[in-house]
Structure 1
Amino acid sequence: MGGPITVSDKDFEEMVLKSDKVVLVDFWAAWCGPCRMMAPVLDEISEENDDFIVAKLNVDENPATASAYRIMSIPTMGIFKNGQMVDKIVGVTPKQTVLNKVKAYI
């Protein structure tokens, strides 16, 4: 267990799409207030769960990946399984709601 991993345009395929676990990707930016509100929630989720991975992708630093998945507003959390985005959660969301959505794909 541990905190979220950081991913980028360069390693997104390797770290997320090729993962054998479900990956919850937090699309965020440093200037985004709601993103800062979600960060401690996602840190907790990451530290408490071994059955999926939490990853963070800064959309300002990695625009290609954000654009590829049509991320229009942040925070958006994409749920990836077997190389595909199977669901997403947009906006500040309660911890249990995030967990319930992710666990549906495990």
Structure 2
Amino acid sequence: MSKVVLVSDADFEQEVFEAKTPVLAYFWATWCGPCRLVAPSVEHISEQYSDRLKVVKLEIDPNPKAVKRCKVEGVPALRVIQGDKILKSHEGAITRAALTEMIDECLIKDKDRP
């Protein structure tokens, strides 16, 4: 079962920057072929890390404010965010293994913070 939360400009601040856990923000577009390749990996991450990570999905075209705030220049784009900080960024297609490694790095760093 997917735990990905669909968000928009209207609720992005609350769902992402005010979240209690780190957030993986997935920026995508309906016209984007590579987005269709990355989507299953994002779903997998949302299921595997549901106890430690919130995963949100935002379509870029109708949501320019969040796109600008997170400095998204291409899709698919992934941002790992904790509080008001972007911990990791990736743009373009990514393998499930590379995405998992990216998430693990952020969660380990987050765990080590005082």
Question: What TM-score range do you get, normalising by the shorter chain?
Answer: over 0.9
1:8 corresponds to which residue?
8
Deviations 1:17-46 (A, max 9, x none): 011111010111111000111111111111
1:80 corresponds to which residue?
81
2:111 corresponds to which residue?
none
Matches within 5 A, 1:1-106: 2-50=2-50, 51-106=52-107
Distance 2:106 2:40 in 1: 23
1:2 Cα deviation after fit: 3.4
Code of the aligned partner of 1:46: S
Give the TM-score taking structure 1 as reference length.
0.92
Give the TM-score taking structure 2 as reference length.
0.86
CA contact (8 A) 1:37 1:92 kept: yes
More helix by percentage = 2
CA contact (8 A) 2:88 2:106 kept: no
Identity score, percent: 30
Q: Where in structure 1 do 4 or more consecutive aligned residues deviate above 2 Å?
A: none
Please provide the CA RMSD for this pair.
1.3
Structure 2 residues not aligned, in runs of 5+: 108-114
Distance 2:22 2:53 in 1: 5
Deviations 1:69-88 (A, max 9, x none): 22111001011012211210
- Give the length in aligned residue pairs: 106
